[in-house]
Amino acid sequence: MNESENFLSLVERWLRNHRELGLKEVYLSPRGVESLLSLTARKSKTISLEKRGQKEKPRSPFLIAEGFSLEELPRGQKGLDLIRKELGNCTRCRLSQGRTHLVFGEGNPEAELMFVGEGPGREEDLQGVPFVGRAGQLLTKIIEAMGMKRGDVYIANVVKCRPPDNRAPLPDEIATCIPFLIKQIAVIRPKVIVALGKIAAQALLNTTEPITKLRGRFHLLGDILVMPTFHPAYLLRNPAMKRYVWEDMKLVRKEIDKIRVPS
């Protein structure tokens, strides 16, 4: 299989996964279409999420699904401010109707480690801050058990407005909102992302595999390591599962330690 065929097979897999998630349409801006066409026409780029360390940096397939190139966004807080401005008083999906606050995200804008959940709950909606309810308190304990402070990491969700009655976000809501998360990831550029729960893991990794199969090992989003694990809210209902999360967090901690240059 040549490079162009590799690329097309990746696009095909991406579209197939979206169909399995129930999505009927994929938004491609004129810029996205242009990028897709130029990549195909030049036959020069291989996009693979399977291997690290290739000449051409692997990229998330979502990079072609929004209006402008992520390379144009400045890093850190400046980039986050631009994304927040672009979101504005967002009414792009039905979740805007029931929200009190849009929950953008919180933490270190240049964090090495990022946590991604599925969406805000009641407390988060009221305060406009992610993971502040009981599940959030448990997440803070997990971060501290890893030897870090909550302020060291960045915390965000796949959808930024609370789904009614805490239901899971629907595929079209995820598809509408996730480009903003991908942009946040692009400007923060964490080394590792912990995907909390099935929805976050499946949305980030573009898969329908269950969380029980995904957790316990790293996956790739572009060149970022992604560790899926159980959601803290699930741990509150099933405390016996905490040990699996702890095993996952030890692997994450090891990767973060490898990145840090000893002083």
Nearest distance, CB of residue 159 and ligand SF4, angstroms:
4
Sites for ligand SF4 among residues 142-171 (CB under 6 A): 159-161
Nearer to ligand SF4, 79 or 120 (CB): 120
Neighbour order of strands in the sheet with 192-196: 106-107, 154-157, 113-117, 192-196, 224-229, 219-221
Residue 36 near residue 64 (C-beta atoms within 8 A): yes
| Cα 217 to Cα 210: distance, rounded to the nearest angstrom | 13
Nearest distance, CB of residue 28 and ligand SF4, angstroms:
17
- Going 260 to 249 to 128 to 90, the CA torsion angle's sign is positive
Rule CB under 6 A: choose which of 45, 59, 92, 191 binds ligand SF4: 92
Nearest distance, CB of residue 158 and ligand SF4, angstroms:
9
191 Cα distance to chain centroid:
12
Sites for ligand SF4 among residues 95-134 (CB under 6 A): 95-96, 102
Nearer to ligand SF4, 102 or 114 (CB): 102
177 binds ligand SF4, rule: CB under 6 A:
yes
Q: Which stretch binds ligand SF4 (CB under 6 A): 15-23, 62-70, 88-96, 125-133?
A: 88-96
| Cα 95 to Cα 166: distance, rounded to the nearest angstrom | 11
Nearer to ligand SF4, 202 or 229 (CB): 202
Q: Please tell me the count of residues contacting ligand SF4 according to CB under 6 A.
A: 14
200 binds ligand SF4, rule: CB under 6 A:
no
Residue 110 near residue 75 (C-beta atoms within 8 A): yes
| Cα 104 to Cα 129: distance, rounded to the nearest angstrom | 7
Residue 72 near residue 120 (C-beta atoms within 8 A): no
Residues that bind ligand SF4 (CB under 6 A): 87, 90-93, 95-96, 102, 159-161, 173, 176-177
